[in-house]
Structure formats: structure tokens, C-alpha cells
């Protein structure tokens, strides 16, 4: 991790706000394919409902669902715990709820980044109350040493330092989501 790759294209408009590459686009691509194979194997008898946590996990979800060789279904939730800040407030709001019934379904929450774990803990309780058969998490990023709530994550793409990062769906004020790699954000929020 952290090495610049010749396939990492940084848009000129973003360069002044970005530090080092934390995860290159090739590393992301390769790891998403590995996660897709693991999920395909683990859920071979019961394809999961993938629940994408908007908006940060949208790029990850799009690539992950194509890497899973099963007839998966998808749904979307939007939660807010950051607002326009670069640190979580710890207060979770459901902005968009699911459309499908979770009763006795195998549900896999697809999350972009787990830092404090407060949002994910809230989501697990919220969705767990809907009687799913199973409820697991696939997180692209886990920030080292940031968890305030113990987490059991079935799938983790990368463990990264506790820096604030952008790219590959992760944003600041709705910007930088369209970058292929994941970068340390050095600009002003």
C-alpha cells in the first residue's frame, strides 16, 4: 500500500488538496476482485442482499457486485454522521432507508470506511431489528486505532492509518469521489 502507481491518474483540479496515495487504483481493483471471490464462496448457497451505505461506498459497491459471481440483489441506505466535517459527530441520522424487507435474508452491509465504528454499530442494531437471517459487513477501509466500538467485520479491504482520506467514493463536501485511488486529504474542509 501507499506506492504511487503509473495507473493512478490524479485530476489537476484535485492535486493541491491531496497527499500521498494510501491505496493505489490497482491495489483497490485487485482487492475488490479477491473480496468478490470470498463472498462468492461464502454465500454460494444463499446469495446475499448487498446494502450499500451511500454515498461513500457507491464506487466500492459497483465494483464489488460485479466481482461476485452470484445473483445478488442490492439496496441503498444513506446515513449521516459527518455533515461537512472531516471528523464524525457520533450522531447518526438515517437519510434514506431500505426499500426491501430483510426478514430471513442474508444481508451484507457494504461500507466505505470504518473509523469510530459508531455509525456501523448503529446500522447493525437498526438493520438487525428487522430479523435478517444473517447480517455481516464488508468494509473497504478500516482505520487503525480509531474504533470506539468493538467491531466484528467479516470482510475488510485494507487497514489504513487514521488519516482522513478521499477518492474512490470518499469525499469532502461532495468532491474527490471520482478519483480512482485513495489519497490522504491535505486540503481544507
Rg for the chain (alpha carbons), in Å?
Answer: 16
- Taken in order 85, 174, 97, 131, the sign of the CA dihedral is negative
What are the φ/ψ torsions at residue 25 (nearest 5 degrees)? Answer: -60, -35
What are the φ/ψ torsions at residue 75 (nearest 5 degrees)? Answer: -145, 170
| C-beta atoms surrounding 164 within 10 Å | 19
Rounded to whole angstroms, how far apart are CA atoms 98 and 147?
26
The residues carrying an active-site annotation are 115
Amino acid at each position: 500500500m501507499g506506492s504511487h502507481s503509473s495507473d493512478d491518474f490524479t485530476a489537476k483540479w484535485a492535486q493541491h488538496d491531496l497527499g500521498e496515495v494510501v491505496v493505489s487504483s490497482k491495489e483497490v481493483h485487485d482487492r475488490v476482485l479477491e473480496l468478490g471471490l470470498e463472498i462468492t464462496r461464502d454465500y454460494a448457497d444463499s446469495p446475499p442482499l448487498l446494502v450499500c451505505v451511500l454515498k461513500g461506498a457507491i464506487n466500492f459497491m459497483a465494483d464489488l457486485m460485479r466481482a461476485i459471481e452470484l445473483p445478488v440483489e442490492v439496496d441503498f441506505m444513506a446515513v449521516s454522521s459527518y455533515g461537512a466535517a472531516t471528523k464524525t459527530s457520533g450522531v447518526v441520522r438515517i437519510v434514506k432507508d431500505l426499500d426491501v424487507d430483510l426478514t430471513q435474508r442474508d444481508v451484507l452491509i457494504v461500507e466505505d470506511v470504518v473509523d469510530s465504528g459508531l455509525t456501523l454499530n448503529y446500522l447493525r442494531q437498526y438493520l438487525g431489528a428487522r430479523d435478517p437471517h444473517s447480517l455481516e459487513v464488508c468494509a473497504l477501509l478500516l482505520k487503525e486505532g480509531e474504533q470506539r466500538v468493538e467491531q466484528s467485520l467479516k470482510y475488510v479491504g485494507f487497514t489504513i492509518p487514521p488519516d482522513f482520506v478521499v477518492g474512490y467514493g470518499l469525499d469532502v463536501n461532495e468532491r474527490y469521489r471520482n478519483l480512482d485511488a485513495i489519497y490522504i486529504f491535505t486540503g481544507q474542509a
